[in-house]
Structure 1
Amino acid sequence: MRGAATVPFGDAFKFWLRLGFISFGGPAGQIAIMHRELVEQRRWISEQRFLHALNYCMLLPGPEAQQLATYIGWLMHRTWGGIVAGALFVLPSLFILIGLSWIYAAYGHVTWIAGLFYGIKPAVAALVLQAVWRIGSRTLKDPRRVPLLWLIALVSFMAIAWLNVPFPWVVLGAAIAGAAGGRWLPAQFNAGAGHAAAKTKTAGERFIIDDDTPTPGHATFSARRLAAVIAAGALLWALPLGAIVATRGWDDTLAQMGWFFTKAALLTFGGAYAVLPYVYQGAVEHFQWLTAAQMIDGLALGETTPGPLIMVVAFVGFIGGWTQQVLGPDMLFAGAAFAAALVTWFTFLPSFLFILAGGPLVEATHGNLKFTAPLTAITAVVVGVIASLALFFFVHITWRANGSIDAIALVIAAAAAVALLRWKAGVIPVIVACAVAGLLVRLAGFG
């Protein structure tokens, strides 16, 4: 590809490493950072090519910002470029979360730490509510024009919140509805390009990967390359899971974590908030690796660390490994850290496979309504599912075990929601302010 060699691999490595430590703000913030750095400042890739890659990643399950980094790294420096970019987007967050999870597991009962989490939990509920608004406003347009998407969102909300329908079945139902709707009612499911068109370039403006830069050979479809990448991905999935099953048995906690989070990775349409109900159903209700309160605490930690929000699964793995003593009572930290790393591996492996193997194939079908209509329906499901998650969080933080209402937690949640939705405050300042408020309430003997 013309110009690709002019981005030295060492320079790219330094950028992806730095990005892994500064990628706060969720997918929107992470994408904004990459756009500012790669398009506006470094000029490694043009606006049009950047948005084309982003639209592609938005069609895939998994964390779109991490996949976008993988895609651009792959486009510039082939397979190893994609692996480095995607891995460095995740690894700093994994190490930070392992440290924070250890502090939580070992010292979470300390009064001041409990006070901080008392304030953070309402902030997390407000963040989920913000996610409902953000995704809903983008997906659910005028109900008079696209009523079917509103109906799908409502049905998914009731299915999860009241009927306890497993998340995979809700997604499958939406995909079938979208496939049928794309054929018979295409106007209801024509979501468009997904992102605004690229800005008009200034005369003489050039990028290393420009609008007219030919697609490199490694990014064009090849059946042989596709088969090789799929085979390598299958081995990287089967070998560690097979070794665990062979040495510890299928019912072992680590084996069940590997299988469960493989399934979760394939259901993350719409981002981390969309798959959290499924993770909650499995990790909390079915396997009981952690409690509902711990799940909310884990989401709070995920919000305050760099990297994709789906990294909350590392917290789930750590607490599950800690409580289940996967390597024995004398190796609590080692077992928990191993479980966190294992869960992260099985969660992100499919994302790399989607980019490295499916990139050229899926890119060729982009804009085809037969392909995008089921994903549009799934995005509508995401709105309903996240709304059910918001309801669960608000009920959990404000309803005490004795049946009374925790008015202070409700006030903190309301203040956080106003700050996020009305004043457009940043995630980190809101969480810090709520944590301080919770600490003061606990130190004062309330809450």
Structure 2
Amino acid sequence: MHNPDFAHIFRVFGRIGLLSFGGPAAQISMMHEDLVVRHKWLTEQQFLGALSFCMLLPGPEAMQLATYAGWRLRGVAGGLLAGLLFVMPGACVILGLAMGYAYYGQLPLVQALFLGVRAAVVVIVFQALLNLSRRALVGAQSWSLAALGFAAMFFLSVPFPLIIGAAALCGYAASRGQVTAPSVAAPVRLGETLRTATLWGALWGAPILIAWALGAELLTDLALFFSKLALVTFGGAYAVLAYMTETVVATKGWLSTAQMIDALGLAETTPGPLILVTEFVGLLAGFAKGGPGLAILAGIMTLWVTFTPCFLWIFTGAPYIETLLERPRLKGALAGISAAVVGVIANLSAWFALHVLFGTVGATRFGPRPEIASFAPVSFAMVLLAGALLLWLRLSMLRVLGLMVVFAGALHGLS
């Protein structure tokens, strides 16, 4: 079947959205099974080409791949349906988790349970670092970019967008001299492209202007920050978490460090893209500022500015996929970004580990410095246990998170 009706698309992408646990690799594998193997809605070449295109874009590549598949099948309406079905189940779960956390997260028992979550998060981020480094670091240049990315962010606090821009330029320059293949793609009307970009750009910006006009300071601030984040989310959610955490915790003061780590742990337990952690941040920031009403508005605003750009990128760029993938310099820029992202995730891994293992972590001119006397041996033991479960026994992420909560609860009961 090559032209399914909307009811069939709803059933297939609804199932994908409800079962899309385990990160982008598992999500993409599930879509491949459903769209290419089972239903034959896309050919292998179409699927891989679309995946390559989505990896060039900022934002969650699995959600954008679902949107592209829907667009390919039934146009913009199909893309909207597929993309929303991929995101909304997880967004609803995050809403419930965040509100529960806002009301009960400070209870001693809940805090004790989250010790297990935080220990698991340290290992989960480290595992993401290992997985990405195997794919992205293939030569001396990529290793150098990764090391420079880590040093720039950890020791010098260089903003993430600057690191991404510099890495893209390095990768672009390194690919000079490679020949671009003659294009075989069908021409696309420029006027249609401009209309699409203008429409979705206006949809992206309209709520921001409304919030600003109404003097809703928090909503405007959240919208502007997460809109900027949507422009630089290359390499997946882990890549921007360090930048997000630094801004959310240190600059804006919306969340504490512990709350940010808890947010990531809870986002790992939900279906959909990990970047849904932004909704959690928006909900908690709104709750702290104005209670549940503002929390819901803040969560909606954060979701809007995080995912509306994804529809903009796909609906504007999808007709150009074949042309873009023929350009080696664009691929070179992506390779440079991927290498630098490894260093950025290494920074995130170190940052989370320091804040879980030490009670006090100070800020110095050249990066964070833990207070040695504040070392937490119980947290260290929990991290080792999570590492054994995830990296040695190779249990699933959800099972490890569940077991770590049980261990932390048992430890709390014995104390």
- Provide TM-score, normalisation by structure 2: 0.93
Deviation, structure 1 residue 17: 1.8
Corresponding position of 2:247: 282
CA contact (8 A) 2:201 2:312 kept: no
2:39 aligned residue:
42
Instruction: Output the CA distance in 1 between the equivalents of 2:322 and 2:271.
Output: 29
Equivalent position amino acid for 1:66 in 2: M
Is residue 278–residue 302 contact of structure 2 (8 Å, CA) maintained in 1?
Answer: yes
**Which of 173, 176, 182 in structure 1 is aligned with 2:169?**
176
Identity among equivalent positions (%) equals 38
- Aligned mate of 1:165, from 125, 141, 158: 158
Q: What secondary structure is seen at the aligned counterpart in 2 of 1:164?
A: coil
Higher mean C-alpha displacement, 422-431 vs 122-131: 422-431
Q: Secondary structure at the match of 1:394?
A: helix
Kindly indicate whether the alpha-carbon contact (under 8 Å) linking 2:263 and 2:277 is maintained by their aligned counterparts in 1.
yes
Aligned residue in 2 for 1:423: 393
Matched, 1:273 2:266: no
Deviations 1:68-124, CA, capped at 9 Å, x for gaps: 100100000000100111111111111111111011010112233222211010101
Partner of 2:52: 55
Counterpart among 213, 216, 227 of residue 194 in structure 2: 227
For the pair 1:97 / 2:90, whether they are aligned, the reply is no
Alignment of 1:412 onto 2:377? no
Corresponding residue for residue 349 of structure 1: 308
Question: Aligned partner of 1:295: which letter?
Answer: M
What is the identity, as a one-letter code, of the residue corresponding to 1:96?
V
Comparing 108-117 with 123-132, greater Cα deviation is found at 108-117
Q: CA RMSD in A?
A: 1.9
**Shift of the alpha carbon at 1:221?**
2.2
Q: Is the 8 A contact 1:398 1:410 kept in 2?
A: yes
1:137 equivalenced with 2:137 (yes/no): no
Q: 1:362: how far off?
A: 4.1
Q: Distance in 2 between matches of 1:64 and 1:363?
A: 17
* Alignment size in residue pairs: 401
Aligned to 2:407: 437
Aligned match of 1:78:
75
Match of 1:194 in 2: none
1:270 Cα deviation after fit: 0.6
Shift of 1:408: 2.1
Q: Distance in 2 between matches of 1:369 and 1:343?
A: 35
Which of 223, 246, 252 is the matching residue for 2:213?
Answer: 246
Counterpart of 1:157 in structure 2: which amino acid?
F
The residue type paired with residue 327 of structure 2 is: N
Structure-2 separation of matches of 1:9 and 1:220? 28
Query: TM-score, structure 1 length as denominator?
Result: 0.86
Q: State the AA in 2 paired with 1:60.
A: L
Alpha-carbon distance in 2 for matches of 1:173, 1:35? 33
Q: Does the 8 Å contact 2:2/2:40 carry over to 1?
A: no
35-44 vs 336-345, greater mean Cα deviation: 35-44
Match of 1:398 among 347, 357, 366: 357
Distance 1:267 1:226 in 2: 22
In the alignment, the residues of structure 1 paired with residue 201 and residue 110 of structure 2 have an alpha-carbon distance, to the nearest angstrom, of 42
Which segment is superposed worse, 258-267 or 435-444?
A: 435-444
Deviations 1:344-390 (A, max 9, x none): 11011111111100112243120421111111111011100000000
Letter in 2 for 1:284: V
Residue in structure 1 matched with residue 26 of structure 2 by the alignment: 29
Hey, what does 1:383 align to over in structure 2?
342
d(CA) in 2 for partners of 1:49, 1:420: 34
Which residue pairs with 1:363 in the alignment? 322
Contact 2:120/2:401, CA 8 A, preserved across alignment: yes
Q: Residue 374 of structure 2: SS of its match in structure 1?
A: coil
Cα distance in 1 between the residues matched to 2:281 and 2:8: 34
Deviations 1:236-255 (A, max 9, x none): 02221111111116xx1110
Contact 1:130/1:417 (CA < 8 Å) preserved in 2? no
Contact 2:49 2:321 in 1 (8 A): no
Q: State the alpha-carbon separation in 1 of the partners of residues 212 and 322 from structure 2.
A: 36
- Measured in 1, the distance between the counterparts of 2:40 and 2:164 equals 39
- Give CA-to-partner distance per residue, 1:163-196, whole Å, 9 cap, x none: 1111111111111212222227x79xxxxxxxxx
8 Å Cα contact 1:23/1:307 also seen in 2:
yes
1:254 aligned partner, one-letter code = L
Report what 1:203 is aligned to. Answer: none
